Every structure is written in C-alpha cells, then in structure tokens.
Amino acid sequence: MSERHPDGFLKRGRQPLAYRDPRQRIADYDEILAGWQADAIQAQGERCMDCGVPTCMAGCPLGNLIPDWNDLVSRQRWREALVRLHATNNFPEFTGYTCPAPCEPACVLGRDDEAVSIKAIERAIVDMGWEQGWIRPEPPPHRSGQHVAVVGSGPAGLACAQQLNRAGHAVTVFERSEVVGGLMALGIPDFKIAKHRVARRVAQLAAEGVRFLTGHCVGRDPSLAQLRARFDAVCLAIGAGAARDLALPGRGLAGVDLAMDFLVAENRRQAGRAAAPHIDVHGQRVLVLGGGDTGADCVATAHRQGACAVTQVSVRGAPPLQRAPGNPWPQWPRIRRRSYALEEGGEEAFALDAVAFLEAAGRGRVAAMQFERVAWTYDGQGRRRGRQVLDPEVVLPADHVLIAIGFAGPDLAPFAGTGLGPGPRGTLATDAAMMSSLPGVFVAGDARRGASLVVWAIGEGRDAARQIDLYLRGHSELPASLMSPNPPLA
C-alpha cells in the first residue's frame, strides 16, 4: 500500500479530466470523456492539502467528504473511498460525469495554484466501484409498513426513493415518460453520460425494492387526491421543465424549436425509441440562443447531426478572463470559458438581444434572426443593472434556431385546483420541512428551488427523504445533506 505524500501539492501538477479529441468525438455519440489511469488519479489525491478548513466541501451543495476520499485514493484504498463518496451522494457518476464541479474553484490550493482535480477523482472512484462489483443492491432488513409515492424519476426523485426505501418504507416512483431517469435519461446527451450508467442505478433501486411505474402523469392519471388516499406521504420531484420561450415576431415559423424538444428527440432516437417529430439540422445553419449548459448541449448535438454552421448567442456581455473584484475566491469564478461543445467547432456571440425571427421569402420558415447589439452595466457583484443599444439591426442568417434560455419552473398544469401553493420563480412553496401547503405532500429538487444542478437535486432528494421519514415516524436516522438549507429536526 502506498504511503501518502504530505507535500504532494508541491510535487504534483494538476491533471484535469481528459477528453477525447474533438475531431474524433463529433463523429459519434460516445462519451466525450476519455478513460483514466489509477496512478494519475492517485497523484491527484496526493495533491489534497489536508487543509484545516476544507472550502471544497462548502463549494459542493452535497457537502461531499472530499478530503476523506482524496486521502483514501492517495493510499489506494479505493473501496473505502467509495463508502465515503456514497455517504453523501447516492449517484456519484451522475455528478462525476455532468456536474460543473463548483468544489474545484473552492479548493484552497486553487486560491494561488491549480485546484485538485476533484471531479476526476470522484468519477474514478465510482467507475472503480462498478468495475470491481462493489456497488450492489442494499435492501432494507425490515419494512416499516408505510408507503410513499415519489413523483418524478430524475436525480431528486431517485435519491429520495433510495433513501426512503433504505429506511424501510415501501416506495413507488411515478414517471410520466416511457423511461426512468428524468433529464438524466432524456435531456442530457449520451455523449455526456452514457445511458447505461443511469439504467444500472435504476436496476439497483429496483433490486432494493423500489417500484417504478412509467407512463403515468400524476395529477391526471392518477390524480393527486388519489395518490394521497393510497399513500402515507407523497414527494413531488417533478423538475422544472417548463421552458422559457421568446414571444417575438416570427416565433411560429418552422425551424424554431425549444432546446429540450431538440435534445429529447435526439436522445430518444439514439435509444431506438420512436421520436416524432425528430428535429434534424443536418446541412443547416443553426443559431442556439442561450449561453448555458443546455445551449452547449444543443451546439454539440447539432455538430453530430451534421449542421454546416453553428453559432451560440448570449444576451450577456463576454465574461472577463479573470475574476472581477466583486467575485473573489472561493466563489464560483464568473469568467469566460470555452465549452466542450465550442471546442468541437462553432462560434459564439455575446451581447445580442433577440428582436425577431425573420421569414424566408414567404416560405413560412425561419431564414435569419434580428438582434440588437447591447452594452450592459453591472454592479460590484456582476449583476446586470443597465442596458444601452449600440446597434439595433444586427442580422444573423439561420436555417434553424434553438431556444435554450432556461426554464420557467415546473409544469403545474396537471396540479391545477389541487391547492398546492405557489413559490418564488414559479416553483412550489414549502415550509422548512419541505412540505407543501397540502399535509403529507413534500417537494424536492428543481420543483422547489428552481432549475439548478444535478448535485443540488440529489441533495434535495436526500433532504426530502429525511423530512418524510420524520413525518412518518417522528424520528429519522437518515442523514441530512451537509449543505441543506433546512436544519435537521430532532
């Protein structure tokens, strides 16, 4: 067994996650991340400084025990590292493959040097766990006799279901689509996380006793009232999939689609399931409106479909190359980064505010977009405060436009008239125990906090499971997320 280097951060350089060559990966839908070597991961673990205040944990919404598993990996104690990783995170591969890793810029070493490659270590630990057969079903030894319905099978719903099931409750998960996994299965492209990684976690939960029912739109089939009558508690983990749209002239033209319609259709096609209509941008000039992760996924998918040109457009000004004075360490650095998708090709444009979709000579199809070029003024925290139009008639050609400007909140149409109270930003309101305005009905994930990261969703699901367990039994041995905004109850 290897001895740990106490000053490894002085002897080892950072080795971030390795990606496949962009020229090769755009020809397929295989994962863009390359493989890893155990010795390189061990060296990254040795770089962890064993600092007195591990701010990396504060940067992680789950409060992952990062220094613990860094140290264990540095000593080649992989199985123990997996135990520590699973102590706070039910699905480390979900985060290890898709999370932007806010823990890394919060690393103490990253203040004056390059941060530890925490995400690479996390991914390697869970990959090793599956390869070695260490990850197995863990059914509860006893059953409580109580039944819980979890609505939605994304990361929040799955985490909630697994925690409650391990506490001994009988859990049924209702999913309205044809496949379990939420956006992990339908929204995030295969090349970011292979769907077998999601499927084997679902299989693990099923082997532990969780029941899955697909094709059920709760609120309609069954109604929420029927669910409350059948179950002792209900958790709504329905996500925040209602997309923000652009009510601009020309919005009804053919060739203008929402990002998620595009991504979900392609995911279904890759899985061999019917996708009607399939949105194909082969040979087209594509504009992607929105500078975030969903926009990047659209850019990368357009590359793989064979678009002839792709431009990602952001209404925001170009971020600075270095931290602004109002954005100090260990905050998430609001700086300019080139996404994995733009490394594969395409252009990016900043400070363009959409005005209209322009038609192609009476053909009923989009041919271009009109924008205003704008300049923004910001406060000391980087928030936009003022807007000046520099050029009112910027026109970009487009055969297809994909709108990826974020999400407005959960789809609440099936729950109209149920008495669920509205929360901020179109979410569902809850009390400090994550219970909605309806007794016994809890809310977790994006439906409660708004569209956010997978890592937040997992933490929300774990916290909701603890609160439901407390509600049902008056006490709970389930751990709260270390970064939970809700204080654990006695």
* Res 381: pLDDT: 62
Mean pLDDT of 82-86: 97
Contact status, residue 481 vs residue 459, Cβ threshold 8 Å: yes
Query: Which letter does DSSP use for residue 377 in this model?
Result: E
Rounded Cα distance between 43 and 56, Å, is: 18
Helix (H) or strand (E) holding 473: helix 454-473
Q: Please state, in angstroms and as integers, the Cα–Cα distance from residue 211 to each residue in 214, 309, 467, following that order.
A: 10, 45, 21
Model confidence at 87: pLDDT above 60: yes
Mean pLDDT of 239-264: 96
59-72: pLDDT as tens digits: 998 999 999 999 99
In this structure, what is the dihedral angle of CA atoms 446, 447, 448, 449, given to the nearest 10 degrees?
Answer: 30
Q: Please state, in angstroms and as integers, the Cα–Cα distance from residue 487 to each residue in 150, 194, 213, 434, 459, following that order.
A: 22, 36, 32, 11, 13
One-letter amino acid for residue 390 of the chain: L
User: What residues have CB less than 8 Å from 80, skipping those under 6 apart?
Assistant: 72
- Kindly tell me the sign of the dihedral angle through the C-alpha atoms of 130, 455, 227, 260: negative
- Kindly tell me the sign of the dihedral angle through the C-alpha atoms of 275, 277, 283, 287: negative
- Please provide the average confidence, as pLDDT, over all residues in the chain: 93
Among the listed residues 316, 202, 349, 190, the one whose alpha carbon sits nearest the alpha carbon of residue 263? 190
Query: Which letter does DSSP use for residue 91 in this model?
Result: -
Model confidence at 276: pLDDT above 80: no
Judging by beta carbons within 10 Å of its beta carbon (0-12, 13-18, 19+), is residue 171 exposed, middle or buried?
buried
408-459: pLDDT as tens digits: 999 999 999 999 988 888 899 999 999 999 999 999 999 999 999 999 999 9
Model confidence at 490: pLDDT above 50: no
Residues in the chain: 490
Judging by beta carbons within 10 Å of its beta carbon (0-12, 13-18, 19+), is residue 312 exposed, middle or buried?
buried
Rounded Cα distance between 314 and 324, Å, is: 20
Contact status, residue 267 vs residue 279, Cβ threshold 8 Å: no
Mean pLDDT of 64-90: 96
For the record, the structure tokens of 186 come out as: 């339908």
Model confidence at 50: pLDDT above 90: no
Model confidence at 379: pLDDT above 80: no
For the record, the structure tokens of 143 come out as: 């059953």
Mean pLDDT of 310-322: 93
In 170-278, the DSSP E strands lie at: 170-175, 211-214, 233-236, 242-243, 256-258
Contact status, residue 140 vs residue 96, Cβ threshold 8 Å: no
One-letter amino acid for residue 321 of the chain: L
Rounded Cα distance between 310 and 315, Å, is: 17
CA angle 460, 130, 213 (to 5 degrees): 50
Q: pLDDT band at residue 224, thresholds of 50, 70 and 90?
A: very high
Q: pLDDT band at residue 200, thresholds of 50, 70 and 90?
A: very high
Specify the range with the lowest mean pLDDT, choosing from 237-246, 276-285, 446-455. 276-285
Query: Which letter does DSSP use for residue 254 in this model?
Result: B
Contact status, residue 438 vs residue 132, Cβ threshold 8 Å: no
Radius of gyration of the chain (CA): 23
Rounded Cα distance between 433 and 466, Å, is: 9
Contact status, residue 94 vs residue 287, Cβ threshold 8 Å: no
* Res 1: pLDDT: 45
115-152: pLDDT as tens digits: 999 999 999 999 999 999 999 999 999 999 999 999 99
Model confidence at 482: pLDDT above 70: no
Backbone φ, ψ for residue 241 (5° rounding): -85, 0
Rounded Cα distance between 322 and 334, Å, is: 8
